[in-house]
């Protein structure tokens, strides 16, 4: 077969083995730097399949120049980097990697919540910088997690997996979602809250897990933060632009909320001069929600299988 596949970032060779048997597979080999846009456009213009990262823009410009393209398999559950409707209109199958990353991402969300509430990173730095001269009863004292109220925004697969963890901590679970899910309410004792203001007012912790869409862009704004408790903690593991980031910075700087744990940012990667980096009450991660070795391998395999299926004329495993 003369079909070409382009992989925009270095993936484990085992995961591409299957594709290499049949197709010409090219890969951007650099670990540290992303594939430049010009090269992506050039490779896409000859490719039947693309394996893409959340940092690659698969937009109309690219799709228009890629007449052979049949499948785009994104190594992420989120797909806001792809113009899915436009691609579908051109008979291109777009695939993501749901399910395989659900539990891993929920683990990270809960880790981030705990790290932020108990000031784990700040405390670690304190020890390393040799500031620990005396033990004191309120040294690095944080907030309890157990028995508190967690507000989850976006009760999809990952949100539900976060809620299951919260249940083990005897938390009260509130959730906001497009639709109410009565089965989950039964299973987890979670309470549906239709308006965000009430969710903000009642939650000790708010975790944002909602996908980025035109409806959710800027959803969590200064008004939302103004309704949160002053000792409230905000955690975001979805996409940075679901949050009005300057409003979040303002809420953190002014003490309107206590702290934030952030895995995602409006523009990634953020740099050291970003206002969030200057704040002690923030834990910052480089978008590693699904980043366990096991899960990243599962995700890579799933992208390869999706490409293989579509190019063989079969149904994709996880099409959008």
Q: Is 164 in the site for ligand GLV (CB under 6 A)?
A: no
Q: How many chain residues are in contact with ligand GLV, going by CB under 6 A?
A: 14
Q: How far is Cα 161 from Cα 106, in angstroms, rounded to an integer?
A: 6
Annotated active-site residue 287? The verdict is: yes
Among 11, 15, 48, 78, binds ligand GLV (CB under 6 A): 78
Of the listed 119, 165, 239, 296, which one is catalytic? 239
Q: Is 158 in the site for ligand GLV (CB under 6 A)?
A: yes
Q: Could you tell me which of 158, 226, 222, 166 has the C-alpha nearest to residue 190?
A: 166
Q: Is 109 in the site for ligand GLV (CB under 6 A)?
A: no
Q: Is 309 in the site for ligand GLV (CB under 6 A)?
A: no
Annotated active-site residue 227? The verdict is: no
Nearest distance in Å: CB 320, ligand GLV: 12
Among 209, 251, 282, 302, binds ligand GLV (CB under 6 A): 209
Which region among 55-63, 70-78, 115-123, 278-286 touches ligand GLV (by CB under 6 A)?
70-78
Annotated active-site residue 268? The verdict is: yes
Of the listed 9, 119, 202, 287, which one is catalytic? 287
Identify which of residues 156 and 232 has a Cβ nearer to ligand GLV in the complex. Answer: 156
Among 5, 25, 44, 77, binds ligand GLV (CB under 6 A): 77
Q: Is 289 in the site for ligand GLV (CB under 6 A)?
A: yes
Name the site residues for ligand GLV (rule: CB under 6 A): 54, 76-78, 98, 101-102, 156-159, 209, 289-290
Please give the positions annotated as active site.
Answer: 239, 268, 287
């Amino acid at each position: 077969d003369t079909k070409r596949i382009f992989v925009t970032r270095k993936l484990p060779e085992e995961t591409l083995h299957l594709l290499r048997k049949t197709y010409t597979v090219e890969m951007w080999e650099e670990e540290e730097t992303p594939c430049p846009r010009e090269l992506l456009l050039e490779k896409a213009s000859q490719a039947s399949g693309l394996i893409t990262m959340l940092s690659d823009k698969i937009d109309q410009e690219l799709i228009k120049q890629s007449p052979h393209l049949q499948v785009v398999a994104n190594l992420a559950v989120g797909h806001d980097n792809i113009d899915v409707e436009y691609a579908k209109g051109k008979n291109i199958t777009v695939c993501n990697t749901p399910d395989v990353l659900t539990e891993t991402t929920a683990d990270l969300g809960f880790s981030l919540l705990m790290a932020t509430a108990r000031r784990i990173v700040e405390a670690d730095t304190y020890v390393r910088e040799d500031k620990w001269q005396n033990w004191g009863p309120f040294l690095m004292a944080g907030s309890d997690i157990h028995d508190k109220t967690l507000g989850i925004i976006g009760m999809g697969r990952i949100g539900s997996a976060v809620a299951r963890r919260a249940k083990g901590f005897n938390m009260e679970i509130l959730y906001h979602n497009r639709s109410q899910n009565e089965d989950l309410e039964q299973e987890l004792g979670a309470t549906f809250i239709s308006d965000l203001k009430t969710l903000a007012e009642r939650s000790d912790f708010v975790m944002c897990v909602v996908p980025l869409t035109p409806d959710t862009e800027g959803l969590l704004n200064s008004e939302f933060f103004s309704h949160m408790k002053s000792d409230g903690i905000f955690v975001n593991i979805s996409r940075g632009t679901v949050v009005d980031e300057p409003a979040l910075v303002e809420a953190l700087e002014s003490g309107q909320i206590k702290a934030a744990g952030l895995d995602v940012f409006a523009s990634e990667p953020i740099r050291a001069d970003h206002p969030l980096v200057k704040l002690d009450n923030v834990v910052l991660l480089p978008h590693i929600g699904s980043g366990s070795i096991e899960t990243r391998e599962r995700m890579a395999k799933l992208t390869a299988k999706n490409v293989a299926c579509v190019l063989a004329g079969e149904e994709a495993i996880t099409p959008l």
